[in-house]
Structure formats: C-alpha cells, structure tokens
A and B are shown apart, each in its own frame.
Chain A
Amino acid sequence: DTTVKQNPRYKLARVGKPVNLICSQTMNHDTMYWYQKKPNQAPKLLLFYYDKILNREADTFEKFQSSRPNNSFCSLYIGSAGLEYSAMYLCASSSGWGGVDTQYFGPGTRLLVL
C-alpha cells in the first residue's frame, strides 16, 4: 500500500487564526515532506522531516512549523494565517532522504483563508 492520507481535504480559515494540517503514511518511510501549490505555479517545498530531524526551506522558515510525533504522522502548522496562505498543501513521503527516492503524494488539503 503506497497511500498517503491527508486531513482535512478542505479547510476554511480566518485571517489571523491558526491552521493545523495532518498527513499520515503507513509505508514506514523515513522522510515526510510538505509542499505548497498555488494555481499556475510549481509545487514548492516548504519543509521535510527525515526521521526526527526537521529541515525547513530558508524562504519559508518563519511561516510554517511542523511536528512528527511518530513515524506515520506529520503535521503542518500555521500560527497566524494570512490571505497569502491560501493554496493546496501537498504531503509526500519517501523511504530515503532528499530528491533521489520516489516521493509518494497524498491528495492534498485545499486551504482557503478569508
């Protein structure tokens, strides 16, 4: 089973409120990723966990937090949502680290901030 699940599938948030998105995988993968996808743009890597080590991209370092309480689950946390956070958020996992191993993607969570 190569399924990555994301909850919720749709999220409506108010400006200034926190947002928490959840991802899970049962493949025992070492690495879990979060991407942001806006219309007509490429998916953009926000951060990834390799085992228990969090790596955040430099340009989004302060905007997103994440936690990985166990191997299967990973969350993406926005402390205070702004309009610019409206996007599709894609979670992925891979057995290894980085861009060499195939990444398996969830269906995404569509976040709308009003």
Chain B
Amino acid sequence: GEQVEQRPPHLSVREGDSAVIICTYTDPNSYYFFWYKQEPGAGLQLLMKVFSSTEINEGQGFTVLLNKKDKQLSLNLTAAHPGDSAVYFCAVTTSSGQKLVFGQGTILKVYL
C-alpha cells in the first residue's frame, strides 16, 4: 500500500529564513495531497489541499510544490516567523480514494 516518508523530523530555523519539508510517496496514482499544521494543544489544521494536476500552489507565506515525476510533495515556508513553529504533517490520498496516509511529521522551531 501507499507509504509516505517525511523529512526532516526536526527543523530549526532563524526568523526570516526559509524552511523546507519534503514528503516522498510511493503510489504514482495518488491524486490528492494535504499539508496540516498542528500547534501545541490543538488539532491538525489544514494548510492546503492540492490536486495532482497542480504543481505549484501558493499559500500565505508558503508554497506547496508537487513533483509527480519524483513522487515528492514539499512545503516551502518563506521568511519563517515564530508563529510558524508547530508540527507539520503531509498526507496523501490512496489511489483507491479510500483513506489518507500520513507522513511522520516535522517539528519546526523558528527562533529569534
């Protein structure tokens, strides 16, 4: 079945620097991709939902790139700030559409 590998598990960046989190998935027929952000004590909050036909997806302060050739999904935070400190999860819809498969999560710390 679908497997998702998320890297790095921990990421520490200075305020104003960029941060990149990458997920590699195995099923080339996966067609929906998600990024979630989890702040302490809160549930996973949807950052962005991406369909397989769109390679570049712009959000507020971040960009999600989908590289179908390499089966990679990345979250690129531009000019990170302390409010971006959280755990980030990617998730991929299985080709059957039946469920989400998650990555292991990345703990991002943005320091001053």
Contacts and interface: CB of A to CB of B under 8 A. Distances in A.
Q: Do A and B bind each other?
A: yes
B11 interface: no
Contacts of A44: 102
Interface residues of B, number: 28
Interface string B70-112: 0000000000000000000101111011111111110000000
Interface size class of A (residues with CB under 8 A): 20 to 34
Which residue, A41, A42, A108, has most C-beta atoms of chain B within 10 A? A42
A58 B97 CA distance: 17
Main secondary structure of the interface of A (DSSP, over half): loop
Interface of A: 4, 35, 40-45, 48, 90, 92, 98-100, 102-108
Interface of B: 4, 6, 9, 32, 34, 36, 41-46, 49, 89, 91-94, 96-105
